[in-house]
Amino acid sequence: MARRKLVAGNWKMNGDRAALAELDAIAAAARAAPGVDVAVAVPATLILSAAERQPELDIGAQDVHAADKGAHTGDISAPLVRDAGGHFTIVGHSERRADHGETSADVRAKAIAAHRGGLRVILCVGETGEERDAGEAEAVVSRQITESLPDGADGGWLTLAYEPVWAIGTGRTPTPDDIAAIHATARATLRGLIGDGADGVRILYGGSVTGDNAAAIFAVPDVDGALVGGASLTAAKFVPIIEAAARAG
Question: What positions carry a catalytic annotation?
Answer: 93, 163
Residues 66, 72, 76, 80, CA torsion sign: positive
Backbone φ, ψ for residue 202 (5° rounding): -75, 145
The per-residue b/e assignment along 177-210, b for 16 or more CB within 10 angstroms, e otherwise, is eebbbbbebbbebbeeebeebbeebbbbbbbbbb
User: Distance between CA 42 and CA 62 in Å, rounded?
Assistant: 7
Strand, coil or helix: 109: helix
Q: Which residues pair with 58 in a beta bridge?
A: 39
| Residue 80, CA distances (Å) to 24, 33, 189, 215 in order | 25, 30, 32, 36
Where does residue 117 fall: left (phi above 0), alpha (psi -120 to 50 degrees), or beta otherwise? alpha
Total length of the chain: 249
Beta strands in the chain (DSSP E): 5-10, 36-41, 58-61, 88-91, 120-125, 158-162, 202-205, 225-228
